[in-house]
Structure 1
Amino acid sequence: MQVKRKLRIVHCFRSPVGGIFRHVRDLCDAQMADGHAVGIVCDSTTGGDFEARLFAEIEPRLALGVKRTPMQRHVGFGDLVAAWRTFNIVRAMQPDVLHGHGAKGGVYARLFGTMMRLFGQKPARIYSPHGGSLHYDAATMTGRVFFALERMMDRFSDHILFVSEYERRTYERKVGRPRAPNTLVYNGLNADEFVTVATAPDAADFLYIGMMRDLKGPDLMIDALALTEKTTGRKLSAVMIGDGDDRDAYVAQAKERGFGDRITFLPAMPARAAFGRGRIMVVPSRAEAMPYIVLEALAAGRPLIASAVGGIPEVFGANSPALTAPSENAIADRMGFALADEAAFQALMPEQADLRARFGADVMARAIETAYQASLSRRA
């Protein structure tokens, strides 16, 4: 029997927050359990106390460590010094697999993996878009620049991993059919996440968990809550949990809509500690790839209203009554629908057995390792 090769794996990405960081941590755990040596390279200027605690938890277990260095959000001339510094960090880690996540991580992984050939190293260059630059409008100058860069970098990719069929279709439409081998691998949850979280006795009517930025739709949630209150004639409440530069603007918006004392804003916390704080969860995103928070909430048995964007319909089914357009009117309509019969709305959520089979962390990790090993075999 052939012994599986143990690898040196480096995950490279910019911002250690949200779904990308969650995805990388899960992969690190699975890959370490398989005996691989794993490391992380990411930006040192983003993330707060919550992320610092997550790093403190995982760093001692990573054989290749955590290397944090300043990384600009966009690729440009001002990024050259940061890129060269990051390249030297990655090269010193001597990876067999260099896995880039998101737009910046994807550029770095494929560029650095190619440059390392000059030093006798030939890591497999793996790219996971996680939405990233695919969110840009192809009709804008920014979009055209990013998609031209994606087309160029495709030539230096050994494998592309898409987290949803939507993401793959978007890549083909905006960038082109990938030359590199590619695989659809859904984000996955750990076994202990498929346990129901109870609703707190003092839970609010609605719950938002996510980054405080317009892309995620906190403003839509607040306006939809105001509309729902008007149409139902009920005094409603919400809890909104997350960090971000726009948080103060949403606090002000809540006060302007008359919810100053009925929308509670809390900092980022582990999702399972937050789920019980609201009876019905809302994911009002304007754009997504395959958000972890949707999978986590459903695995925890939470009823959920979600925007029908990105890969979210692939979780629920395209015709699910839980799906909505990302607008305050459409979200308010779903809020009223859910409030009318909460038990019936709960029954509309996907079956737990189906979720486990499609979105298990073990399923995700096996598929990604298969892509790693195939890429290394082709390079050999």
Structure 2
Amino acid sequence: MKKILYLITSSEYGGAQKYVHDLAVNLPPTDYQAIVAAGQGDGELFNQLANFPAVKTIKLFNLQRLPLPLTAWRCLKEIVKLLIQEKPEVLHLNSSVAEFLGSWAAKIYKKKTKANLKVIYTVHGWVFLEPGFGKSLIYLLVEKISAQWKDVFIVLSQHDLQIGLRKKISPKNKLVKIYNGLDIQSLYFLPKEQALKILPAQFQKNNLPIIGTIANFYASKGLAFLIKAMALIRKNFQFSEYSPIPCRKQSSASEASRSLFSIFNLLIIGDGPQRKNLENLIAKLKLNDCIFLAGRMPSAAQYLSAFDIFVLPSVKEGLPYVILEAMAAGAPIVATNVGGLPELIENGKSGLLVEPKNPIALASAIERLLNNPEQQKSLAENAKQQAGKFGLDQMLNQTYQLYN
């Protein structure tokens, strides 16, 4: 039986963790043993894996985002010790800290033990594309140094494949494109009225369109740009001959009058290190009455039915699951033109794509949909059809072939 060790930096549950979860729980148990090791976080990844006793889980206490040098050194030794203990045939790395320290640890382990260990790294968006010029150069250098310790790079989009080649990260024969996939049939979305109960009472009563997103609160997710776009919409929104989204019937003239001022609710599901900064920005722009930060929610995708428009304002992406889920839910989508998103969304047909870091462009696209229910419907129907092309089985089979 072949051991596959999945290593990921954080134990919170985001797209990269869903990817690891899906690969680990679907491994044929007669041929493979799955081991998932993760670092700091809220432990939701471990909670999601608890129902799968065949998957062994291990917490690494020194593995964390942006570790100090001493912590990174301790983590390196912790991973080497784990490799010696588990003796996997394949080490499958996910996320930037885990991939650098994990591939370095694999190099040390192989030199010590002469073991035959295959090292695979899935690129969930190249880390050197993160905001910040100085950091980008350092990350690019680290990526190039550690590339020699890896056997295969899995990229999730043609976009990332081309960047890997252009930046000379790795030879072409080590780069493999495998799209993320969803088991569409197993997805469950709450009835709209039930999903709306996630909102505080005052939001439920104001009968306004709900613009929403699901994201971890990292700078790369671009949530500050979305909040700034909401301020622009509130200030400048102009109604066309179309009426706004008819999401819920207004019960009084006073509510209708208030809706002309407020225009929308923004619901953000998620949490993370940028939360305080986002709260301060919301307060500064006087948007507390129309923006709700819901925190992390288990099985967050089930609440997509609450959204009249789904927005992903990311600065950097790989091939995000949340967009596939929003497409499958039949939500009209506005997203940034980054990473693999143009490979999922055809601009103007299955969603609207705008340039990243641009609140004006985001606001314009959202206003366009607020004013055009027919376009919302058309985009949503086309997106739902497109989501069916990204199946889980295809992703699993292509990835498992690399383990042999």
Structure 1 length as normaliser, TM-score? 0.86
Considering only aligned residues, what root-mean-square deviation do their CA atoms show, in Å? Answer: 2.5
Q: SS state of the match for residue 91, structure 1?
A: helix
Do the aligned partners of residues 246 and 75 (structure 1) sit closer, same or farther apart at CA in structure 2, a change above 3 Å counting? closer
Distance (Å, rounded) in 2 between the aligned partners of 1:338 and 1:319 = 11
**Which residue of the partner structure matches residue 285 of structure 2?**
257
Q: SS state of the match for residue 259, structure 1?
A: coil
Distance (Å, rounded) in 2 between the aligned partners of 1:180 and 1:106 = 19
The correspondence for 2:82, drawn from 73, 85, 89, is 89
Q: How does 1:232-243 map to 2 (within 5 A)?
A: 232=237, 234=260, 235=262, 236-243=264-271
Residue 141 of structure 1 and its aligned partner are, at CA, apart by: 4.5
The correspondence for 1:245, drawn from 273, 288, 293, is 273
**Which residue of the partner structure matches residue 324 of structure 1?**
354
**Which residue of the partner structure matches residue 235 of structure 2?**
230
8 Å contact from structure 1 (residues 193, 300) kept in 2: no
Aligned pair 1:28/2:28, yes or no? no
**Which residue of the partner structure matches residue 379 of structure 2?**
348
Between 273-282 and 228-237, the greater mean CA deviation after superposition: 228-237
Residue 334 of structure 1 and its aligned partner are, at CA, apart by: 0.6
Q: SS state of the match for residue 230, structure 1?
A: helix
Q: SS state of the match for residue 27, structure 2?
A: helix
Residue 9 of structure 1 and its aligned partner are, at CA, apart by: 0.4
The one-letter code matched in structure 1 to 2:104 is L
Q: Between the two proteins, what is the percent identity of the paired residues?
A: 22
Residue 219 of structure 1 and its aligned partner are, at CA, apart by: 1.4
8 Å contact from structure 2 (residues 29, 54) kept in 1: no
1:64-83 Cα distance to aligned partner (Å, 9 max, x none): 43333221434774222221
Residue 143 of structure 1 and its aligned partner are, at CA, apart by: 3.0
8 Å contact from structure 2 (residues 345, 383) kept in 1: no
**Which residue of the partner structure matches residue 3 of structure 1?**
none
The one-letter code matched in structure 2 to 1:100 is L
8 Å contact from structure 1 (residues 13, 105) kept in 2: yes
Aligned pair 1:66/2:58, yes or no? yes
**Which residue of the partner structure matches residue 250 of structure 2?**
none
Q: How does 1:174-189 map to 2 (within 5 A)?
A: 174-178=167-171, 181-189=174-182
Distance (Å, rounded) in 1 between the aligned partners of 2:286 and 2:139 = 41
The correspondence for 2:330, drawn from 284, 301, 316, is 301
Q: SS state of the match for residue 347, structure 1?
A: helix
Residue 52 of structure 1 and its aligned partner are, at CA, apart by: 5.4
The one-letter code matched in structure 2 to 1:356 is G
8 Å contact from structure 2 (residues 156, 318) kept in 1: yes
Q: Unmatched 5+ residue regions in structure 1?
A: 1-5, 374-380
8 Å contact from structure 1 (residues 193, 296) kept in 2: no
Q: Unmatched 5+ residue regions in structure 2?
A: 197-203, 239-259
Residue 299 of structure 1 and its aligned partner are, at CA, apart by: 1.3
**Which residue of the partner structure matches residue 7 of structure 2?**
12
Q: SS state of the match for residue 348, structure 1?
A: helix
1:257-305 Cα distance to aligned partner (Å, 9 max, x none): 2321221221111222321232111111111111111111111222111
Aligned pair 1:277/2:306, yes or no? yes
Q: SS state of the match for residue 61, structure 1?
A: coil
Do the aligned partners of residues 34 and 280 (structure 1) sit closer, same or farther apart at CA in structure 2, a change above 3 Å counting? farther
Distance (Å, rounded) in 1 between the aligned partners of 2:172 and 2:157 = 18
Distance (Å, rounded) in 2 between the aligned partners of 1:175 and 1:72 = 27
**Which residue of the partner structure matches residue 377 of structure 1?**
none
Aligned pair 1:219/2:213, yes or no? no
Residue 181 of structure 1 and its aligned partner are, at CA, apart by: 2.2
1:150-181 Cα distance to aligned partner (Å, 9 max, x none): 22322222211001111112222334442652
Distance (Å, rounded) in 1 between the aligned partners of 2:292 and 2:68 = 40
Do the aligned partners of residues 61 and 176 (structure 1) sit closer, same or farther apart at CA in structure 2, a change above 3 Å counting? closer
The one-letter code matched in structure 1 to 2:7 is C
Residue 136 of structure 1 and its aligned partner are, at CA, apart by: 4.3
**Which residue of the partner structure matches residue 122 of structure 2?**
128
8 Å contact from structure 2 (residues 330, 383) kept in 1: no
The correspondence for 2:161, drawn from 158, 168, 172, is 168
1:32-88 Cα distance to aligned partner (Å, 9 max, x none): 467421001121x3236x455325444x331x4333322143477422222112210
Residue 196 of structure 1 and its aligned partner are, at CA, apart by: 6.0
The one-letter code matched in structure 2 to 1:232 is F
* Structure 1 segments of 4+ aligned residues over 6 angstroms from their partners: none
The correspondence for 1:334, drawn from 360, 365, 380, is 365
Structure 2 length as normaliser, TM-score? 0.81
**Which residue of the partner structure matches residue 205 of structure 1?**
210
Distance (Å, rounded) in 1 between the aligned partners of 2:312 and 2:18 = 17
Distance (Å, rounded) in 1 between the aligned partners of 2:170 and 2:115 = 28
Distance (Å, rounded) in 1 between the aligned partners of 2:30 and 2:230 = 46
